[in-house]
Amino acid sequence: MYSVGFLGAFILVTWFLAFYLFTERF
């Protein structure tokens, strides 16, 4: 259960960072 939550948080942070860089580019 803990590993699932950690993986979900990691994916969320990665997606947010990618979205931030994408918006900064344009």
Write down the pLDDT at residue 1: 65
Write down the pLDDT at residue 17: 96
- Taking the C-alpha atoms of residue 1 and residue 5, their distance in angstroms, rounded to an integer, is 6
- Taking the C-alpha atoms of residue 26 and residue 10, their distance in angstroms, rounded to an integer, is 25
Q: How many domains does the chain have?
A: 1
pLDDT digits over 1-26, tens only?
678 889 999 999 999 999 999 998 76
Write down the pLDDT at residue 2: 76
pTM: 0.53
- Taking the C-alpha atoms of residue 26 and residue 20, their distance in angstroms, rounded to an integer, is 10
Identify the domain containing residue 10 by its residue range.
1-26
